[in-house]
Amino acid sequence: MNVFKTFKFIICTRHLNAYKPTGAVRYCTRALLNSCEATSNNLHFRNMDYNARVAVCQFTAKNDKEQNFMVCKHLIERASEDGAKMVFLPEACDYIGESKEEIVNLSEPLDGPLICRYRELAKAQKVWLSLGGIHEKANNGKVHNSHVLINEMGELVAVYRKLHLFDVEIPEKQVCIKESDFVEKGREIVRPVPTPAGKLGLAICYDMRFAELSVALRRLGAEVLTYPSAFTFATGAVHWEVLLRSRAIENQCYVIAAAQYGSHNKKRTSWGHAMVIDPSGNVVAQCSEGTGFVMANIDLSLIEDIRKSMPVDKQKRLDIYPELLPLAPVAPGTGSYQEQYQFGQVSIPETHIFYKTDSTMAFVNKRCVVPGHVLVAPLRPALRLQDLTPSEVADLFLVVQRVQQVMEQMHGCSSTTIAVQDGPDAGRTINHLHVHILPRKQKDFLNNDDIYHELQKHDKDETKPWRGLEEMGSEASVLRERFQ
């Protein structure tokens, strides 16, 4: 039985309605091949330099994992035949359960049989796969809602765990929906991933309502924002397209949104309308009804043109309002790390750093005033706090905040001394701005302010030995696990 319905060919406008329809591709719509640009009062046309061909899917998942996989397998194979370099599947492409218990019981770890089958399929078809939402088994009796990327070699290259969970309680209407009852929320933004379709920013469904995430992904270099979804039918008609087009326009990115469609069970129906939106906010491809996919070409040169013609990112008034900064750590062992980091007149081995962002590092201390005494510093060799840019200041203290929380948990305390010796006259001996984080316990000093006297002299007392490199590396290794 053919699971596909042929979609209607949808002609969408961009700029001044200068598209020329090229005809429908089998089971899909094709992104249109020409565009025009307005220059003064004249029009000139250009051919688009396409970079990648993608397929964006929709179908109706049930609680039968095998049936769902076979539908997705057929979609992927047909999309590959039509020349797709990357195939996007919706949220909950593995299954949609009928109860919380079933959702948890059907879940698998990322090394489970289902992901292995998708990895084999990607390798066999030589396509990248975006598995828009897999129920990943967690360790606490819950699941992660995980967006998984697999490359054409069958390698798992990225996992994003949904940050925003839908929880709402309205007692007077007897409404209580808590996704957090069975889904463990994600803890960090995943850096955009280079793919054949450009640098992909990963998100899932409800995330589209939080513009802050898309802005953060754009700042990290995203060219394409992805929102695989199982969007409710009730809100889909009024919110779905509006939200997706808004994210495309404000970030000048492509938006790709694979979608669940139709009735999954007696309690749940999804809106569908999987679509691709260009950086100007035009819907260039959209599924109609049923199971199938649409094809679109991602033109990265269009992103560059639009950002040049309307440079909103360069015209933000960061002197009036703060810049939105993602707290997106670089995982240890990635190419973004290096063997040594300069810290004033000394260097810090990579093995002593336990947390790092694009502009800040956190590392263990060579001589501690109290147990858990660690340091946070900008990567750039800034001497004073006033030397940092607003974005560097924000990132520095976001890292301080997170490190403080972890150190208090590890050392069983609820107070911390946070100190900045901003210059040599303030007691600093290292010519590099840094923040001291010192977990505190009751009566750890006879007089509470004695800690400042110790801090001023702790690295000048030659009678006390320095900590060994191995000891410091072991501490950093333990701390690093707390930030995964």
The model's pLDDT over 90-105, given as tens digits with 9 standing for 90+, comes to 999 999 999 999 999 9
pLDDT given at position 338: 57
pLDDT given at position 327: 61
CA pair distance 414, 6, nearest whole angstrom: 61
- What's the mean per-residue pLDDT of the chain? 87
CA pair distance 223, 27, nearest whole angstrom: 26
Catalytic position from the list 164, 273, 432, 434: 434
Range with lowest mean pLDDT among 32-41, 74-83, 168-177, 369-378: 32-41
CA pair distance 97, 230, nearest whole angstrom: 12
Question: Residues comprising the binding site?
Answer: 365, 421, 436
CB 193 within 8 A of CB 223: no
In a 3-state reduction of DSSP, which class is residue 283?
Answer: strand
Q: Given a cut of 90, is residue 279 above it in pLDDT?
A: yes
CB 147 within 8 A of CB 204: yes
| Residue of higher predicted confidence among 22 and 66 | 66
Question: Residues comprising the binding site for substrate?
Answer: 365, 421, 436
Say if 51-311 and 340-481 have the same CATH topology: no
Distance of alpha carbon 199 from the chain centroid: 11
CA pair distance 405, 408, nearest whole angstrom: 5
CA pair distance 479, 484, nearest whole angstrom: 9
pLDDT tens digits, one per residue of 43-92 = 222 333 447 999 999 999 999 999 999 999 999 999 999 999 999 999 99
Q: Domain spanning 51-311 has what CATH number?
A: 3.60.110.10
pLDDT tens digits, one per residue of 316-344 = 988 888 777 766 554 443 434 457 889 99
448-457 average pLDDT score: 86
CA pair distance 277, 281, nearest whole angstrom: 6
- Whether 434 is catalytic: yes
Tokens of 72: 């997705």
In a 3-state reduction of DSSP, which class is residue 352?
Answer: helix
107-133 average pLDDT score: 98
| Residue of higher predicted confidence among 51 and 243 | 243
* Sign for the pseudo-dihedral over CA of 125, 157, 287, 249: negative
Closest CA to 476 of 358, 277, 283, 337: 337
Q: Which residue type does 343 have?
A: F
pLDDT given at position 463: 72
420-440 average pLDDT score: 94
Query: What superfamily in CATH does domain 340-481 come from?
Result: HIT-like (3.30.428.10)
Domain ranges of the chain: 51-311, 340-481
CA pair distance 303, 442, nearest whole angstrom: 56
In a 3-state reduction of DSSP, which class is residue 361?
Answer: strand
CA pair distance 125, 102, nearest whole angstrom: 32
Range with lowest mean pLDDT among 7-11, 21-25, 270-274, 278-282: 21-25
| Residue of higher predicted confidence among 450 and 202 | 202
Q: Given a cut of 50, is residue 299 above it in pLDDT?
A: yes
